[in-house]
Structure 1
Amino acid sequence: MKKVFALILIMAFLGLSGCGSNPEKAKGDQGEAKSEAKMQLVEEGKLTFAMSGLYKPLNYKQDGKLVGFDVEIGTEIAKRLGLEANPVTNPWETILQGLKGKKYDAIIGSMSITEERAQQVDFTIPYYIEGAQIFVAEGNQDIKTPEDLKGRTIGVIQSSVWKSLAEGYSDKIKSYPSDVYALQDLPSGRLEAVITDSIVGAYAIKENNLKLKPVGSILNKDEVAVAVNKDNPELTKKISEAIQAMVEDGTYEQISTKWFGYNTLKE
């Protein structure tokens, strides 16, 4: 009987020893599982991020594939998070609704930080700084300053920060799904001015050989960041960390210089 009891004690001891043979590994496994659970993704192993696909050179389609500055930034972020990049498109006017409806994990599509948007979603640290610019037809001599926009017909992108800016000058606002479409309406006279990002406007004029010109200096400066759902703070944090690391190791400047010729985070 004593031998049987002793054998039971030995077996129990061995069992306990086996359970705790590698406490650090067990702790690490639990930590990894906890971290994965915090970073919510619509598709496991992928960072799915949205954009309009109509905002050249920031995000657009070339030979059926999404390319541009935003796409390259999003791809680098995904790589640093150990995920596969999965860029997708969504109409700009419903892009926030798509994010809140969990169609994608983030918006990496040149979205400026505004108080109204910040009430609906969280933003990472900025990944570039943009400025609003007035563009008019090359022969236009009537609009030389922002004050000359009073009562004029102004074109802007739908649901953009440019729309509220334009409304401060005129009540004749026409919304477009793309900057290029708005700019193309300037030479014909359907619009008298367009307010858009200075980078996008200059690029569109060059690419489409449009007879347009910028008016005055930059109207304002906006910080552009990645938008993430408010119930996904871990993903917001990790994306911010990835952007910061890109800035610090020089990767960000390489990407920015490739697309624009300068570092868009340096004012």
Structure 2
Amino acid sequence: MKKLAIFLVAAMLLILSACGTQQSNQVENETKSSDSEFGLVKEGSLTFAMTGQYPPLNFKKDGKLTGFDVEIGTEIAKRMGLEANPVTNPWETIIQGLKANKYDAIIGSMTATAERDKQIDFTEPYYLSGAQIFVANDNTEIQSKEDLQGKTIGVIQASTWKDMAETLTSPDMVKGYPVDVNALQDLSLGRLDAVITDKIVGVSAQNEKGLDIKPIGDLLNEDRVSIGIAEGNTELANKINEALQSMIDDGTYEEISMKWFNTNIMEK
């Protein structure tokens, strides 16, 4: 009788052990299947690239990558149940790196253009930028682009913004600068009536350098800054879009944006 009881206990233990192993293998296989489904380059992680040289969007501080892009990518990875693995790559080869499977995504302030879309796919935009008019904080005369006729406008030399400015005022009233910040500083000192530059560049200068300026009117053109994904990886694109939308819906996106820009850069 004792032998029979011992045999039955041993048999039950073997069955339970087999069930446990089967369940463990099932969970492991599901995880691997999920990683394989996304085509991740590093199991359990979302590896995303940027230059690391574009503050405050992405840059290195004390040897560690930080900035708006990094925080957005980290939160997306978290909501996908993955570890965040931000990496750097030179801008001129960043698309080639994605196509070569060096990383899963580009979260580096890349505008989705028709030319780039021929090589890779893009998610929904994670912020909107474009050409923006800036004026001094105390300027109440200029409210929109229609008010720029006859005004002095500062722009970067040989830029598309220079062409825009010349259509809004006379060409002799457009002043070229080597960099945006110089024009924005002159604007805050009252040497210009307005500046046309990238929205994010202007907002960053306003916050970081304490310039007494403000954006006015709608964007003169719109850049949809999106996350680059390897062509055809629709499953990963869909999951990133879901994570991004949930961040927008629960206010997390706005918190991150306010931290870095003191405004919601998803809004026009």
- Distance (Å, rounded) in 1 between the aligned partners of 2:234 and 2:211: 43
Task: Indicate if the aligned counterparts of 2:128 and 2:225 stay in contact, CA closer than 8 A.
Answer: yes
Q: Aligned AA for 2:54?
A: Y
Question: What are the within-5 Å matches in structure 2 for residues 207-226 of structure 1?
Answer: 207-208=208-209, 218-226=219-227
- Distance (Å, rounded) in 2 between the aligned partners of 1:89 and 1:109: 9
Question: What are the within-5 Å matches in structure 2 for residues 87-166 of structure 1?
Answer: 87-133=86-132, 155=156
SS in structure 2 of the partner of residue 256 of structure 1 = helix
- Distance (Å, rounded) in 2 between the aligned partners of 1:215 and 1:264: 14
**Which ranges in structure 2 are unaligned for 5 or more consecutive residues?**
1-17, 136-144, 167-175, 187-194
Partner residue, 1:258: 259
- Distance (Å, rounded) in 2 between the aligned partners of 1:89 and 1:25: 36
> If the length of structure 2 is used for normalisation, what is the TM-score?
0.65
- How far the C-alpha of 1:89 sits from its partner, in A, is 2.0
Partner residue, 1:196: 198
Q: Aligned AA for 1:244?
A: Q
Question: What are the within-5 Å matches in structure 2 for residues 55-66 of structure 1?
Answer: 55-66=54-65
Instruction: Work out whether 1:75 is the aligned partner of 2:74.
Output: yes
- How far the C-alpha of 1:256 sits from its partner, in A, is 1.7
- How far the C-alpha of 1:107 sits from its partner, in A, is 0.8
Deviations 1:56-94 (A, max 9, x none): 221122222221111110010111122221112222232
- How far the C-alpha of 1:49 sits from its partner, in A, is 1.0
Task: Indicate if the aligned counterparts of 1:184 and 1:210 stay in contact, CA closer than 8 A.
Answer: no
**Which ranges in structure 1 are unaligned for 5 or more consecutive residues?**
1-18, 137-144, 157-162
- Distance (Å, rounded) in 2 between the aligned partners of 1:21 and 1:207: 56
> If the length of structure 1 is used for normalisation, what is the TM-score?
0.65
Deviations 1:208-256 (A, max 9, x none): 5789997986322222111111142221111111101111222112212
- How far the C-alpha of 1:33 sits from its partner, in A, is 3.9
Residues 1:92 and 1:212: Cα distance change in structure 2 (over 3 Å): farther
Q: Which moved more, 1:235-244 or 1:55-64?
A: 55-64
Residues 1:166 and 1:23: Cα distance change in structure 2 (over 3 Å): farther
Partner residue, 2:237: 236
- Distance (Å, rounded) in 2 between the aligned partners of 1:216 and 1:31: 50
Task: Indicate if the aligned counterparts of 1:56 and 1:200 stay in contact, CA closer than 8 A.
Answer: no
- Distance (Å, rounded) in 1 between the aligned partners of 2:30 and 2:63: 40
SS in structure 2 of the partner of residue 230 of structure 1 = coil
Deviations 1:67-126 (A, max 9, x none): 111111001011112222111222223222222222221111111221111111111112
What is the count of residue pairs matched by the alignment?
Answer: 237
Q: Aligned AA for 1:245?
A: S
Task: Indicate if the aligned counterparts of 1:55 and 1:200 stay in contact, CA closer than 8 A.
Answer: no
Task: Indicate if the aligned counterparts of 1:112 and 1:224 stay in contact, CA closer than 8 A.
Answer: yes
- How far the C-alpha of 1:54 sits from its partner, in A, is 2.4
Q: Aligned AA for 1:196?
A: D
Q: Aligned AA for 2:181?
A: L
Residues 1:205 and 1:221: Cα distance change in structure 2 (over 3 Å): same
- Distance (Å, rounded) in 2 between the aligned partners of 1:184 and 1:109: 25
Aligned residues with identical type, % of pairs? 50
